[in-house]
Amino acid sequence: MQTWARFVWNGDSLLPGPFALDDVRLSTRPLHIEFRRNGKGGLPLDALRILIPSWDKVQFDPDGFSHREVMDLLLLGAERVCIDIWASDKEIELGHAITERVLLRERLPTELNALYLTDELFPRLKELSHLGPGGVLLVGRKKGDVGFVHDRLPSDILASFDWWLAPDEGNEVSLKNRGSVAGWILDGSRLVGGSK
């Protein structure tokens, strides 16, 4: 099981922290960097071209729906790149056709409830289990939601993917079935050692 330090891109720094992009402590742990742009605006590819080689390992959640963004980030040296589970099937298939290093990402809604799981999320995950990408990242927005969802996944869906979990708590949470977890995406500031 892997543990990656979770950060959000903030122009010239990473949050929480803030950590300067060239802070040497960022090279000591695998990094998971999120962009929060609601699928709009470009990625800072010129800056990333310089920074990625200075970090140990890095995976990205570009908050995107396009296989092109996945490709751009992988060509720059990312270990893995996320694509939204609500992207079109075509975009997900194209991303997966290029590489196995695509993670499907579900940012859980703030008003999470059982109906969302049974009527929207579980049917979508069942569809995606036939498209190819083998990993899913669940991103929490409030305490307890990642554990709530993971513990309610039907066994066929649970077995169809490697699960990456990013709980809002910033640390590992208790689960009924930890064996399905490939990785934890946890509070970067805590893992890397706090900001200067």
Question: Are 53 and 78 spatial neighbours (Cβ–Cβ below 8 Å)?
Answer: no
* pTM score of the predicted model: 0.93
Q: What is the pLDDT of residue 39?
A: 60
Residue 97 and residue 102: Cα distance in Å, rounded? 10
The domain containing residue 187 runs over which residues? Answer: 2-192
Predicted confidence pLDDT, tens digits, the chain (196 residues):
899 999 999 988 999 989 999 999 999 899 999 998 866 678 899 999 999 999 989 999 999 898 999 999 999 999 999 999 999 999 999 988 888 899 999 999 999 999 999 999 999 999 999 887 899 999 999 999 999 999 999 999 999 999 999 999 999 999 998 888 999 999 999 999 864 4
- Using alpha carbons only, what angle is made at residue 67 by residues 128 and 155, rounded to the nearest 5 degrees? 20
Polymer length of the chain: 196
Residue 155 in contact with residue 161, Cβ under 8 Å? no
Give the H or E element holding residue 186. strand 181-187
CATH number of the domain encompassing residue 105: 3.20.20.70
pLDDT at 194: 67
Please compute Rg for the chain using Cα positions: 16
The structural domain count of the chain equals 1
**How does DSSP classify residue 33?**
E
